[in-house]
Amino acid sequence: MTVLDLFRLDGRVALITGASRGLGQAMAVGLAEAGADIAGLDRTPDCNETCAQVEALGRRYLNLSIDLLSASKDDLARAVQDVVAGLGRVDILVNNAGIIRRAPALDYSEADWDDVININLRAVFFLSQAAGRAMAAQGGGKIINVASMLSFQGGILVPSYTASKSAIAGLTHALANEWAPLGINVNAIAPGYMATDNTAPIRADAVRSESILARIPAGDWGTPEDLKGAVVYLASDAARYVHGAILPVDGGWLGR
């Protein structure tokens, strides 16, 4: 076996939240390109563009239509059960889905706080719990959380998002500590400033966009495709001894 073989994901099944677009779509396609079958958890009821791309690669795609904002702990447990029933197992969980609500902290609403925390943190924990149980029963697996630059920094006008992503970093460490002995690797990717729907308001603000780009050593916004290599690595046997890591994919932002 060569080192490149360690990155192959043939015969494995990956569950990705928010897989229908943006970062989730790119990671789903990247995992499929490495050989994995994909279960995409989204609000979309039918096979979407991600589904079409995955199936064009000769991989299976299972669509799970669930709204994470209203999903209960039992709903998330059933989603994992549906993946096992439909695709045979669950080897990889990518907790990608997330929302952001912008407002000054002095004016921040209870609804905006609760919605962000529920999707970005509560759903992540209970889906990880359900997937972790399945993975422990089958002898191991990989859980990959999507953190943020705001797992390390405070940001402005996004108190609930910053709180949720800081908590994701802590949760990644906590679950890694408990589940490494079970053969489950828990790690996170921290994307930098990516050209996605979440950053559209910032990119549309010429002054703010210019100030951000001036601090990024790479000099440009990241793209969803920039996460493919990171997610395949953390999902693969090449990362066998990597536990509790938060991998920045940020164009050098944190090193500035």
Catalytic residue among 61, 161, 193, 233: 161
CA atoms of 181 and 166, how far apart (whole Å): 25
Assess whether 161 carries a catalytic annotation: yes
Choose among 140, 142, 101, 255: nearest CA to 190.
255
Distance CA 124, CA 45 (A): 21
DSSP codes, 11-51:
T-EEEEETTTSHHHHHHHHHHHHTT-EEEEEES--S--HHH
Q: Please choose, from the candidates 147, 142, 230, 229, the residue with its C-alpha nearest in 3D space to the C-alpha of residue 186.
A: 142
Q: Enumerate the active-site residues.
A: 161
